[in-house]
Amino acid sequence: MTHMTKALLIDDDQKLGDLLKNYLKSFDIDLSVVNDPRKAIETINRKDPDLLILDVMMPHIKGFELCKMIRQESDKPIIILSARGEADDKIKRH
């Protein structure tokens, strides 16, 4: 039996979540989606994903702020998604 990697996408864009979920399935990645960043920590604790994917621009909590909150509780790998290309954003990712 093949082990599927469990990933969690935290992004307010449901269409992107659906697209990524279907795409990543072909790579044996089981993607769950949370559209409200305020529910992210609780969902991470409940689902225990292997990997996290965060959007930078979300309502209520921005991606970098959420990343800091997650880092206080977890050392899981985090991928940051951004349509932005500003230098400040690139520096924050490193």
Per-residue pLDDT reduced to its tens digit, 20-71: 999 999 999 999 999 999 999 999 999 999 999 999 988 888 889 999 999 9
- pLDDT at position 61: 87
From the list 24, 89, 85, 81, the residue with the least C-alpha distance to 50 is: 24
Coil, strand or helix: which one is 76? coil
- Give the start-to-end residue ranges of the domains of the chain: 5-55+76-93
Alpha carbon separation from 92 to 46, 75, 83 (Å, rounded): 28, 17, 14
Band (pLDDT 50/70/90 cuts) for residue 91 is very low
Q: Does domain 5-55+76-93 have CATH number 3.40.228.10?
A: no
